[in-house]
Homo-oligomer: A and B are copies of this chain.
Amino acid sequence: MAATAQPSADRSALRDAVSLRLQGAGQRRTPTRDAIVDVLAGAGRPVTIPEILDADDSLAQSSVYRNLVMLEQAGVVHRIVTNAEFARFELAEDLTGDHHHHLICVQCGAVEDAPASALIERAVHQAIDEVERATGFRTTTHRIDLVGLCVDCAA
């Protein structure tokens, strides 16, 4: 399963990597930021701000919002905007080393991770090359979402 929490051995390595990026952005490592990163690392899927607040009620809403903006700029987290009421956040893929796509349920708004297949990645990169040659667009990331019904809602 791709959607399982990391073993805690990886957790401190992750924190260090995060620390490094924060320093790179001229920012400190704080308990609040560690807590947010912990929640994201433990979720195994993109989470909303209410979910983060529920997971750790020592956090203040405004601090979570503020720090997520920060962490996004520092390249630590990635913001995912869907049609659902809340935005979702996940750790940057180059921190976790886990490139994946998203399964987005149109009914309930749930978002799950799905592992990226080598096949599709190869095809995407080829397509990116084509697009760059044709349009001059400089691609830094790509995003592939499958939109449909999750197992629960399909039932």
Report which A residues bind B (CB closer than 8 A): 79, 81-83, 103, 105-106, 112, 114, 117, 119-120, 122-124, 126-128, 130-131, 135-151, 154
Beyond A81-B83, A142-B145, A144-B144, whether A137 also contacts B124 by CB under 8 A is no
> Are A131 and B114 neighbours in the complex by a CB distance under 8 Å?
yes
The binding surface of chain A is classed by DSSP as: mixed
User: In the complex, A81→B87 CA distance in Å?
Assistant: 10
- Cβ of A138: which chain B residues have Cβ within 8 Å of it? 148-149, 154
> Are B144 and A148 neighbours in the complex by a CB distance under 8 Å?
no
> Are B150 and A137 neighbours in the complex by a CB distance under 8 Å?
yes
- Cβ of A103: which chain B residues have Cβ within 8 Å of it? 131, 135, 137, 139
- Nearest B-chain residue to A82, judged by Cβ: B81
Among B79, B83, B130, B142, point to the contact of A144 (Cβ < 8 A): B142
Beyond A81-B83, A137-B103, A138-B154, whether A131 also contacts B146 by CB under 8 A is yes
- Nearest B-chain residue to A154, judged by Cβ: B138
- Cβ of A119: which chain B residues have Cβ within 8 Å of it? 123, 126-127
